[in-house]
């Protein structure tokens, strides 16, 4: 046998072996599909409604001048942290000081008149007892004495007002917080009521959240809300304290407000993301999200039984953190296909490539 005959014989043997292998595969059926599995678990699932809102200060008063005068000193600028009662600016107090001096002088003048009238009234009473003057004369003296006493009370009130105005030459911060706007500058003349500063309180904030009117019957006071702010990894938990009774005419949404203590870095006007807990299900049958597949029958999962994938139609509930609640069609602690579920059909043979962990109690 020559070399060419040997090569032809080898190729023939290889061809026969391949044909035999194909016949054997055809006789044995479709090979098993490799899959990974997991146990259905009882987990606590929460129905959350998310909203993006804005942060607001509970107090942001505009501080105005309470007396007229020229600004002689500004002690706080934009961004300055201030305490309640801290001086923000000083006005020229010479005018109110002169008014106080005039009020003091008027009080002393009227006090002298009142003292003199008192002595005169006592003298007239003695003369009346001796029948030297008429009753009408005495009554007239009593009326004059009462008038002077009223005049003295008015003068003293004017003095108290002047004393108070001297203190108003200082512009104070009404709350603890930060200066958001500085309106006045040194040398500026301000009139009574002119705005000077705006101070924003930062210790307590509120989150203003908008929800569609379809949730008006579900969003209630006292519900828990989890807040996160842009640029801050901290998550705060608060409760809905107020709900705006009317929906907006433009977007048909209503507002809910969550009050909380500022952790330190949150600022009014910033954005906030909130998740409101509408419902909590403490023992919900749950499976990994990728184990739920859409088929003509609807949403299904594949349960591994005796090496085969058994198709189960299921009804879904809450989806959270990569898990989906099964409200009907599956029980806890059943083995379901996770990876590879999309390639399966009912009763398909499967090979489990992982050992599923035990189900959580």
Q: Which of 164, 156, 182 is nearest to 78 (CA)?
A: 182
> How far apart (Å, rounded) are the C-alpha atoms in residues 89 and 80?
13
Residue, of 314 and 265, whose pLDDT is higher: 314
Q: pLDDT at position 213, please?
A: 86
What mean pLDDT value characterizes the chain? 85
Tell me what percent of the residues of the chain surpass a pLDDT of 70.
89
Q: Which of 186, 195, 173 is nearest to 70 (CA)?
A: 186
DSSP percent split of the chain into helix, strand, coil, nearest 5 = 30, 40, 30
User: For residue range 148-165, what is the model confidence (pLDDT) as tens digits?
Assistant: 999 999 999 988 888 887
Distance of CA 104 to the CA centre of its chain: 53
> How far apart (Å, rounded) are the C-alpha atoms in residues 279 and 215?
13
Q: Which helix (H) or strand (E) holds 71?
A: strand 69-74
Binning pLDDT at 50, 70 and 90, where does residue 280 land?
confident
> How far apart (Å, rounded) are the C-alpha atoms in residues 216 and 223?
13
Residue, of 124 and 248, whose pLDDT is higher: 124
> How far apart (Å, rounded) are the C-alpha atoms in residues 45 and 26?
47
| Residue 158 DSSP code | H
Q: pLDDT at position 34, please?
A: 92
Tell me what percent of the residues of the chain surpass a pLDDT of 90.
50
User: For residue range 291-313, what is the model confidence (pLDDT) as tens digits?
Assistant: 999 999 899 999 999 999 999 99
188-191 contacts at long range (C-beta below 8 A, 24 or more positions apart)? 188/70, 188/71, 189/68, 189/69, 189/70, 189/71, 190/65, 190/68, 190/69, 190/70, 190/71, 190/91, 191/65, 191/68
Binning pLDDT at 50, 70 and 90, where does residue 94 land?
confident
Mean pLDDT of the 229-256 span: 82
| Residue 203 DSSP code | S
| Three-state DSSP state, 92 | coil
The fold for domain 49-59+203-281 equals Elongation Factor Tu (Ef-tu); domain 3 (2.40.30)
The domain locations on the chain are 33-43+283-352, 49-59+203-281, 67-92+169-200, 93-168
Q: pLDDT at position 15, please?
A: 46
CATH number for the region 33-43+283-352 comes to 2.40.420.20
Assess whether the region 33-43+283-352 and the region 49-59+203-281 belong to the same CATH fold.
no
Mean pLDDT of the 340-361 span: 77
User: For residue range 264-278, what is the model confidence (pLDDT) as tens digits?
Assistant: 888 888 899 999 988
Class of domain 67-92+169-200: mainly beta
Q: How far is CA 256 from CA 100, 204, 205, in A?
A: 51, 16, 14
Task: For the full predicted model, state whether its pTM sits above 0.75.
Answer: no
Q: pLDDT at position 29, please?
A: 58
Binning pLDDT at 50, 70 and 90, where does residue 22 land?
very low
Paired tokens of 292: 């739920």
């Amino acid at each position: 046998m020559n070399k060419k005959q040997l090569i032809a014989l080898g190729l023939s043997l290889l061809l026969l072996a391949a044909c035999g292998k194909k016949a054997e595969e055809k006789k044995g059926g479709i090979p098993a599909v490799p899959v990974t599995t997991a146990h259905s678990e009882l987990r606590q699932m929460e129905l959350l409604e998310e909203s993006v809102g804005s942060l607001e200060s509970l107090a942001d008063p505009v501080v105005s001048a309470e007396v007229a005068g020229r600004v002689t000193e500004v002690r706080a600028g934009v961004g300055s942290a201030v305490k309640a009662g801290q001086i923000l600016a000083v006005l020229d107090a010479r005018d109110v000081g002169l008014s106080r001096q005039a009020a003091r002088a008027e009080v002393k003048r009227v006090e002298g008149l009142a003292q003199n009238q008192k002595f005169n009234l006592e003298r007239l009473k003695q003369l009346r007892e001796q029948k030297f003057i008429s009753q009408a004369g005495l009554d007239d003296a009593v009326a004059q004495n009462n008038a002077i006493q009223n005049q003295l009370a008015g003068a003293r009130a004017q003095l108290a007002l002047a004393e108070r105005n001297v203190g108003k030459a200082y512009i104070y911060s009404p709350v603890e917080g930060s200066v958001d706007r500085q309106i006045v500058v040194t040398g500026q003349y301000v009139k009574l009521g002119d705005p000077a500063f705006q101070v924003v309180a930062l210790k307590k904030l509120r989150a203003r959240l908008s929800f569609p009117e379809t949730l008006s019957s579900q969003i209630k006071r006292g519900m828990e809300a989890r807040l996160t702010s842009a640029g801050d990894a901290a998550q705060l938990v608060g409760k809905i304290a107020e709900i705006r009774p009317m929906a907006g005419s433009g977007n048909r949404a209503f507002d809910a407000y969550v009050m909380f203590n500022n952790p330190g870095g949150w600022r009014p006007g910033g954005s906030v993301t909130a998740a409101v807990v509408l419902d909590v299900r403490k023992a919900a049958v749950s499976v990994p999200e990728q184990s739920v597949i859409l088929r003509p029958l609807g949403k299904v999962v594949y349960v591994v039984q005796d090496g085969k994938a058994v198709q189960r139609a299921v009804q879904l509930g809450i989806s959270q953190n990569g898990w989906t609640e099964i409200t009907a069609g599956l029980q806890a602690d059943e083995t379901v296909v996770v990876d590879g579920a999309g390639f399966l059909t009912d009763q398909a043979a499967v090979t489990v490539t992982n050992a599923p962990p035990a189900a959580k109690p």
